[in-house]
Amino acid sequence: MNIFLTGATGFVGGELLVNLSQKAEVEKIYCFLRASSDEEALKRLENIFTLHDDFFDAEKIIPVIGDLFDEDLIKSLLTNKMIADTNVIIHSAANTSFSKIYNDVVEKVNIGGLEKILLWAKQLKHFETFLYIGTATICGNDIKLRIVHEDESPNIHARHLVKYTYTKMQGELLLHRHLPEEKILIARPSIIMGDSRQVVPRSPVILWAVATINLLRFVPVNADASLDMIPVDYAAEAIVKLLFANRKNNVYHISSGKTSATSAHLLSVSLDNYFKDKPRFYFPDKSLINQVKLWAKKRLTEECELFAYGEYLDYWNKTFTHPGELRILLAGLEPYLEFMNLGQVFDNSRLLEDVPSVKQSPPAHVYINNCMKFIEKIDIMEGAVNP
Ligand SMILES: NC(=O)c1ccc[n+]([C@@H]2O[C@H](COP(=O)([O-])OP(=O)(O)OC[C@H]3O[C@@H](n4cnc5c(N)ncnc54)[C@H](OP(=O)(O)O)[C@@H]3O)[C@@H](O)[C@H]2O)c1
């Protein structure tokens, strides 16, 4: 099997690359990545392996320099004879930003970039499977507090909290427009947070949100709403097993499902056990978020309910050198809180039945104990200003 992998330098793609490189069935992995020179490309790929002391097989892992923005991308892929023997494409590259300021880029990479790869794929002689790393959150924000099944998406009428999930939904529609069903495989992970092993996780993104919530301690979010979270090592292992399995379907959730779902409350118990010097977590009604924002702007009037929580306001006054810091954190955190309030759990019974070697993921409130040291070190302000 010769694989063309995009997004290998990312959170999920990096873990997929390491996992795939250890499979005897895989001959070559052409890694499509951004770099200004061959040396830089090789270094970026080697770093993926250095992080956890994995073996880098230079015979197997071959860089292909490119950018999904490139207008001439299809031509340069077609003229590259080395990658003409590709039979599996794994498209993990995406812009995953929730921030509105990146909406245009998100659209160009996630829809425009994908279409270029699809147009190239269609011209490959030995092409068998296009594995698209989608996201379960394409179901949109009208579905609340219940289990979501694969067949509910893509739904073109779904409303979206952020452009990112909209573009990932459009991505799936593009796949169906360009490829026959038997060549399509869609893996839709839920929220991927950290790593269940005692290692440095490849990405701090979702752990940043956890670290921020841990710092705030008073968090207006529905603490009992279920949260579907999985560790990246589980996600990569499940996706690779799915690729090699005899599949009955071509769309699969990669998720915690009901059995391993967590919640803000369950996560807070684990955090409280580790960070004993902080005030206990308190989750007031989510409607208080606007008062918190006004307080951070020093515009909250005295009769407001938030003043009843003086212990937390004192704590914030001591924690933040300026209330503006809280404002910046809230701006970054708010989309995550909105996702948390949705209470969506993604049914994983299809994956567990069709690929019996994939077992249930560990619950996030359990494996998060292996991420505590990393959470402690996250630069929270830096993560907020640089989403
Ligand atoms: N993380 C999650 O919680 C989660 C959950 C569900 C689904 N997913 C899906 O999983 C996939 C991977 O996500 P991730 O968390 O690994 O994201 P990530 O860490 O942000 O990685 C994104 C990857 O895409 C590459 N990329 C971005 N723009 C590019 C461009 N213009 N040209 C070439 N490559 C480009 C990045 O390359 P550079 O290193 O050069 O920037 C990086 O390798 C995405 O499709 C996402 O939708 C993620």
For 125, the 3-state DSSP assignment is coil
Type and span of the H or E element at 75: helix 73-78
**pLDDT at residue 386 greater than cutoff 80:** no
Report all structural domains of the chain as residue ranges with CATH numbers, in order of start. 2-189 (3.40.50.720), 195-227+262-343+363-387 (no CATH)
**pLDDT at residue 240 greater than cutoff 80:** yes
330-342 burial code (b ≥16 CB/10 A, e <16):
bebbebbbbbbbb
Out of 4, 6, 12, 139, give the residue to mutate to test ligand 1, the one with the largest number of ligand atoms within 8 Å of its CB: 12
Q: From atom 33 of ligand 1, which residue's Cα is the shortest distance away?
A: 67
Ligand 1 centre distance from Cα of residue 92 (Å): 6
Type of residue found at 56: F
pLDDT digits (tens, 9 = 90+) for 306-320: 999 999 999 999 999
Ligand 1 centre distance from Cα of residue 36 (Å): 19
Type of residue found at 354: D
**pLDDT at residue 322 greater than cutoff 90:** no
Which two tokens mark 353? Answer: 């039945």
Question: Residue 384 — very low, low, confident or very high, per pLDDT cuts 50/70/90?
Answer: confident
pLDDT digits (tens, 9 = 90+) for 254-296: 999 999 999 999 999 999 999 999 999 999 998 899 999 999 9
Which of ligand 1's atoms lies nearest the C-alpha of 91? Answer: 45
**CA atoms of 15 and 2, how far apart (whole Å):** 18
Q: What is the DSSP string of 78-99?
A: HT-GGGGG--EEEE--------
**pLDDT at residue 32 greater than cutoff 90:** yes
Q: From atom 24 of ligand 1, which residue's Cα is the shortest distance away?
A: 93
Q: What is the pLDDT of residue 231?
A: 98
Q: What is the pLDDT of residue 90?
A: 98
Pocket of ligand 1 (CB under 6 A): 6-7, 9-13, 33-34, 67-69, 92-96, 109, 113, 133, 135, 168, 189, 191-192, 203, 206
Question: Residue 387 — very low, low, confident or very high, per pLDDT cuts 50/70/90?
Answer: low
pLDDT digits (tens, 9 = 90+) for 177-206: 999 999 999 999 999 999 999 999 999 999
